[in-house]
Structure 1
Amino acid sequence: MQKATTALFFALSVLALFASSTQGKDWWENGNYYQIYPRSFRDSDGDGIGDLNGVTEKLQYLKDIGFTAAWLSPIFKSPMADFGYDISDFYQIHPEYGTMEDFENMIKKAKEVGIKIILDFVPNHSSDENEWFIKSVDGDPAYADFYIWHNGIVNETTGERQPPSNWVSVFRYSAWEWNDVRQQYYLHQFVTKQPDLNYRNPAVVNEMKNVMRFWLGKGVAGFRIDAVPYLFEKDLDRYNNYPDEPVIDDVSTCPDPDDACHLKHIYTQDQPETLDMVYQWRALADEFKKEHGGDTRILLTEAYTSFDNMILYYGNGIRNGSHIPFNFDFLTNLQNDTKAPTVVEHIEKWLNAMPEGVIANWVLGNHDNKRLASRYGVQRADLFNILLQTLPGNAVTYNGEELAMTDVYISWEDSVDPQACNSDPDRYYDLSRDPARTPYQWDASPNAGKCYKTLI
């Protein structure tokens, strides 16, 4: 154990020297990024829900403890079926979080403090309450193909209409939902209230670029881009059908056909067009700076994908991609019993694979995973935070991790996360993201220093 610890500290010393010698000149290089989950971060008005004014109140705190930028999970108008990741208006602030004036005041305060604001950009889908989807359902020519629709197939035995393919949602069950008005199925890779946008339609691509330009014009420093691997699906074949995805080799590891893990997602994730879209968004960010001046606008990308794919998000040698393609190899491979040599192995794996001229990044937590202190142990939380801050490149911290906050037990009856609610009382807790989304503990008083109406 002593040898392993010595090896880790030696590696960190070398990496610290490497970091000091490669200090970036641009604001975002070797930066310190802080994820805020607005709903439970800070409630400024006592209505029981975190809000933008609460974020504004705490920007100085973030600056004081060394953060470069704050990334806010979605703040746009939403029915909250998936707590902001189902957006009904990409151009409006969710009323529970505040107003556009509150947002503008937050940007102004951030500039005064010297901290950047990064927004969560959710391009794969919208809410089914979005005007675009409503118009698509009604057959409006401008929006008819904004989403992915299909007539389905007729079962030759029963004569009944059924979904176009066996594709399964991330949150269980068929990824296809029948719409009585349009008399077709629509695709939703997440909950039924999150219909997938159709990126094979140039109008969708242009509209989502307009969304980015709108918020860049409001003064944000960039975007964290959600669920990137799901942007494209395999295109229709010559018979106007979608292919079924194959079942995994060892069905015993995931026997339930309603679970996403039952299938190999070779047609619904990581399609070749996906990286091109990331490169287009990078070009947009670069062009915005050229046209409007100011600092570099950056992209952070979320992609739970293969290691090789994560590296390709940086770029392909010709076109640039994400400034910070989240290093989930680090997040997903370190466990409570991980020894120092394994940590060093995964550090070196990323550093050795990076293309020339890009910046490393390190992620140990976010709103979709159990908290760092619960996964690695409270007794090791500070060590892992020190590790995160010592490594060369960019560090990403989820709110509360700097305090070693742990998961809060949420019962089956109180669960609201759709990933948990679509499960069952025996399995829900392992799937639930609710425990990591509870209120930030501003002090030791009841209700974390504020009276929150809901836990997330």
Structure 2
Amino acid sequence: MELLSLLTLLLLAIASNEACQVQSSSSETTDWWQTAQFYQIYPRSFKDSDGDGIGDLNGITSKLEYLKDLGVTAAWLSPIFKSPMVDFGYDISDFFDIQPEYGTLKDFRALIKRAKELDLKIVLDFVPNHSSNESEWFQKSVKREKGYEDYYVWHDGKVNSTTGKREPPTNWLQYFRGSAWEWNDQRQQYYLHQFAVQQPDLNYRNPLVVEQMKRVLRYWLNEGVSGFRCDALPPLFEVLPDGDGQFPDEVVSGSTEDEEDRDYLTTTYIENQPETIDMVYQWRTVLDDHKRIYGGNSSVLLIETYSPAWFTMQFYGNRSTEGAHLPFNFNLITVMEQKGISASNVQEAIDLWLKNMPAGRTPNWVLGNHDKRRAASRYGKEHIDGMNMLVMILPGVSVTYQGEEIGMTDGEISWEDTVDPWGCNSNPDIYEQYTRDPERTPFQWTGGTNAGFTNGSTTWLPLAADYETINVEKELSDGVSHLKIYKQLVALRRSSKTLQNGSTKYQTLSEDIFVVQRSLTKSATIVLVINFGSVAKIVDLSQFDKNRTESLLLLIGSIDSTKKKGTRYDPKSLSLDPSEALVLTSE
């Protein structure tokens, strides 16, 4: 009877508009990645060491102490492998070597060595869905060499009964606009490419491909990396063809009238197939086997997927099999893109993850990456501190894209300067809808020449216009800055047992006011309050916690807050200026 009563109360609480509470799944003995601060580096834009205007490995090595000072646990590097750079490293021609623009294997090993000296971990981008068409594997497959005949997804196509001409097998569309099929004259077949024409899809129904990609993982684990971020998982498998060897067409989605846009069609047959889940489980076994054989720390598996929750949560694993440590949580990006920033939309984004996440797993929070407009541009510069506070105060793992710690904004990239294939495959009238160049502009180290990114005369992409006022050098010297606030947040997160192991309670108090509370027995309670509105508000936190009567000590305030750190405030009448965000404690 007692269990039934508890379940009834829980259902009633969920049905009402009360605060949501989540008990911590962590124990006092958590693995390193469970409370980690991951920092994504886009190598081409981080730091150039040789003056060619392109970031490189030695540039990253020279800035590892900056990451250490930030409090970063692990740096995730976007692809550094040998590539023709059609998609800037996501078209890999050799998975076992370094792109010469970025350096050499010797440079990579020096990076690993220095990172270990600083107790920083390095995570590599693993791009499993496709290779470059300049890959030796693809060239052999084109020639139908033994063992490579079906390394990629090949098809004869269809013959149009009216015209008699050969056509692609299906109407499937690629991410970068247009058909997902390309005819190869030498082989006399079409190949599937869900990204650019130069990125043919590997065939994971071929066990030789599966084993080859496991070899890639083992190779870099042996080189000392601490895990992998797996790129673009949803299209890894497509549906099996029918008995006649034909694939089905997708249906029109109704979401856009642009027939070249991938969203013009559904992706029922080319994304989120069950075999993809199993493949991730196999990769996790590779990582676990490496630890079992060689010892050392766990290697982490992070998964990129913008899939719905029913599919995404399967990546975590099940009762019998371990899956990815962290399927990336993009809800703070996608919900806000669709609906705008507000307290209720933030709560919806958090609910979508925490209410769907399997028990005993670790959540994670992502504000941006190299494929999305910069966080300060999407949320508004006035909200970047509050959003950084949110991902640091919520339970689990936080992920920062380079520049979010200083409030970097998008660069303005003209059609003439556009290099991203997604943008280049469009036209001058619509390229801004597709190009990812604005969020990839060079990192802003100083307000001097080329923002301190390079000693050369040019940069591979134009700098963002505000580099003279938004840069590391200036923000380190300013009394208050986004960077200093960020560092305080990371330091608090690393030192607070409450943030590492405490329970979580959060609630929308109004359309503008959002509150998060982290609690742990015999430890100080941490409270985050954010005003997402454009007018000042008086907040009564007793609406959120009836036991909250004692004053709260201010630990960290957003950049424009006039409140003084170390001052106590009445929780029943806490004033918040527009866009103000505060981290307070019960101590």
With the shorter chain as reference, the TM-score category is over 0.9
Give the deviation of 1:21 after TM superposition: 7.2
In 2, are the aligned partners of 1:361 and 1:395 still within 8 Å (CA)?
yes
Residue by residue, what CA displacement relative to the aligned partner does 1:135-175 show, whole Å, maximum 9, x if unpaired? 00111011111001111111000000111111111111111
1:455 maps to which of 458, 461, 464: 461
In 2, are the aligned partners of 1:125 and 1:197 still within 8 Å (CA)?
yes
2:180 maps to which of 175, 178, 183: 175
The farther-off stretch of 418-427 and 62-71 is: 418-427
In 2, are the aligned partners of 1:23 and 1:29 still within 8 Å (CA)?
no
Distance 1:404 1:23, change over 3 A: farther
Residue by residue, what CA displacement relative to the aligned partner does 1:329-375 show, whole Å, maximum 9, x if unpaired? 22211258422233123223322221122111001100000000000
* Residue 335 (structure 2) pairs with residue 333 (structure 1): yes
What is the letter of the counterpart of residue 356 of structure 1?
A
What is the letter of the counterpart of residue 234 of structure 2?
P
1:441, 1:23 → 2: CA distance?
Answer: 38
**2:208 aligned partner:** 203
Give the deviation of 1:22 after TM superposition: 4.7
In 1, are the aligned partners of 2:331 and 2:350 still within 8 Å (CA)?
no
Q: State the SS of the aligned residue for 1:229.
A: coil
* Residue 384 (structure 2) pairs with residue 381 (structure 1): yes
**1:7 aligned partner:** none
Give the deviation of 1:59 after TM superposition: 1.1
2:404, 2:28 → 1: CA distance?
Answer: 25
**1:57 aligned partner:** 62
**2:282 aligned partner:** 280
Taking structure 2 as the reference length, what is the TM-score of the superposition? 0.73
Alignment of 1:342-361 (within 5 A): 342-361=345-364
In 2, are the aligned partners of 1:77 and 1:87 still within 8 Å (CA)?
yes
Distance 1:59 1:79, change over 3 A: same
1:435, 1:66 → 2: CA distance?
Answer: 27
In 1, are the aligned partners of 2:91 and 2:132 still within 8 Å (CA)?
yes
**1:365 aligned partner:** 368
Instruction: Select the structure with the greater relative contact order (CA < 8 A; seq sep ≥ 6).
Output: 1
What is the letter of the counterpart of residue 336 of structure 2?
L
2:239, 2:363 → 1: CA distance?
Answer: 31
What is the letter of the counterpart of residue 125 of structure 2?
D
In 2, are the aligned partners of 1:11 and 1:344 still within 8 Å (CA)?
no
Q: Would you say how many aligned residue pairs link Structure 1 and Structure 2?
A: 441
* Residue 22 (structure 2) pairs with residue 30 (structure 1): no
**1:322 aligned partner:** 324
What is the letter of the counterpart of residue 292 of structure 1?
Y
1:210, 1:355 → 2: CA distance?
Answer: 30
1:145, 1:302 → 2: CA distance?
Answer: 26
**1:430 aligned partner:** 433
* Residue 108 (structure 2) pairs with residue 103 (structure 1): yes
Distance 1:454 1:338, change over 3 A: same
**1:3 aligned partner:** none
**2:124 aligned partner:** 119
What is the Cα-based RMSD across aligned positions, in Å?
A: 1.7
Alignment of 1:178-327 (within 5 A): 178-248=183-253, 250=254, 253-327=255-329
Q: State the SS of the aligned residue for 2:344.
A: helix
What is the letter of the counterpart of residue 139 of structure 1?
R
1:44, 1:124 → 2: CA distance?
Answer: 31
2:327, 2:25 → 1: CA distance?
Answer: 22
Distance 1:426 1:316, change over 3 A: same
2:81, 2:165 → 1: CA distance?
Answer: 39
* Residue 447 (structure 2) pairs with residue 444 (structure 1): yes
In 2, are the aligned partners of 1:19 and 1:391 still within 8 Å (CA)?
no
In 2, are the aligned partners of 1:69 and 1:117 still within 8 Å (CA)?
yes
Residue by residue, what CA displacement relative to the aligned partner does 1:51-78 show, whole Å, maximum 9, x if unpaired? 0011111111111111100000000000
Q: State the SS of the aligned residue for 2:316.
A: coil
Distance 1:83 1:104, change over 3 A: same
What is the letter of the counterpart of residue 286 of structure 1?
D
Residue by residue, what CA displacement relative to the aligned partner does 1:76-101 show, whole Å, maximum 9, x if unpaired? 00000000000000000000000000
Distance 1:353 1:55, change over 3 A: same
1:212, 1:72 → 2: CA distance?
Answer: 15
The farther-off stretch of 29-38 and 352-361 is: 352-361
Q: State the SS of the aligned residue for 2:399.
A: strand
Residue by residue, what CA displacement relative to the aligned partner does 1:112-152 show, whole Å, maximum 9, x if unpaired? 00110000000000000000000001110111110011111
Q: In proportion to residue count, which structure has more strand?
A: 2
Q: Looking at CA atoms only, which structure, 1 or 2, has the larger radius of gyration?
A: 2
Residue by residue, what CA displacement relative to the aligned partner does 1:200-259 show, whole Å, maximum 9, x if unpaired? 0000000000000000000000000000011101112111111111111x3xx3112221
**1:420 aligned partner:** 423
1:143 maps to which of 137, 144, 148: 148
Q: In proportion to residue count, which structure has more helix?
A: 1
In 1, are the aligned partners of 2:442 and 2:459 still within 8 Å (CA)?
no
2:185, 2:30 → 1: CA distance?
Answer: 56
**Identity of matched residues, %:** 57
Residue by residue, what CA displacement relative to the aligned partner does 1:273-298 show, whole Å, maximum 9, x if unpaired? 11000111111111110011100011
* Residue 162 (structure 2) pairs with residue 160 (structure 1): no
2:287, 2:58 → 1: CA distance?
Answer: 27
**2:402 aligned partner:** 399
Taking structure 1 as the reference length, what is the TM-score of the superposition? 0.94
Give the deviation of 1:380 after TM superposition: 0.9
What is the letter of the counterpart of residue 332 of structure 1?
T
Distance 1:11 1:72, change over 3 A: farther
2:138, 2:26 → 1: CA distance?
Answer: 51
What is the letter of the counterpart of residue 392 of structure 1?
P
Residue by residue, what CA displacement relative to the aligned partner does 1:33-64 show, whole Å, maximum 9, x if unpaired? 00000001000121211000111111111111
1:410, 1:32 → 2: CA distance?
Answer: 30
